[in-house]
Amino acid sequence: MYSFYRRTFMTVLFKKQANYPLTNQHNQTFEATCYHYINKQEQPDIAKALYEGTLFQAHDPHTNEVTSFTYPCLYEDSQKKFLVFFIPNDTVAFEDVSATMFEGGTNDYSDYTLRFTNYVTEFYEKINILDSQLLDTEVECVKLFTHTLLQEQNQLKENTHLFFHEESGKPFIMVLSPNNQARVDYNQDLVDIVHNRIENKLHLPKGQLFHINGKWAIDALDLA
Q: What is the pLDDT of residues 51-97, one digit of tens each?
A: 999 999 999 999 999 989 888 889 999 999 999 999 887 666 666 66
Across the range 159-183, mean pLDDT stands at 90
According to the model, what pLDDT value does residue 179 have?
A: 81
pLDDT 10s digits, 188-204: 999 999 999 999 999 99
What is the overall mean pLDDT for the chain? 86
Whether 140 and 213 share a structural domain: yes
Domain co-membership, 82 together with 126: yes
Is the residue at 1 inside a domain? no
Q: Phi, psi (5° rounding) for residue 9?
A: -55, -60
The confidence band for 4, taking pLDDT boundaries of 50, 70 and 90, is very low
For residue 131, what is the enclosing H or E element?
A: helix 120-131
Same domain, 28 and 52: yes
What are the b/e assignments for 83-102, b being 16+ CB within 10 Å? bbbbbbeebbeeeebeeebe
Tell me the pLDDT tens digit for each residue of 124-166. 999 999 999 999 999 999 999 999 999 888 777 777 899 999 9
The pLDDT assigned to 163 comes to 96
Q: What is the pTM of this model?
A: 0.87
Of 112, 185, 108, nearest in space to 143 by CA:
185
Do residues 125 and 144 share a domain? no
> Do 19 and 41 sit in the same domain of this protein?
yes
pLDDT in tens, 22-46: 888 889 999 998 888 899 999 999 9
Domain residues for 29? 6-131
Final residue of a domain: which of 101, 131, 161? 131
Angstrom distance (rounded) from CA 161 to CA 175? 6
Is 65 contained in some domain? yes
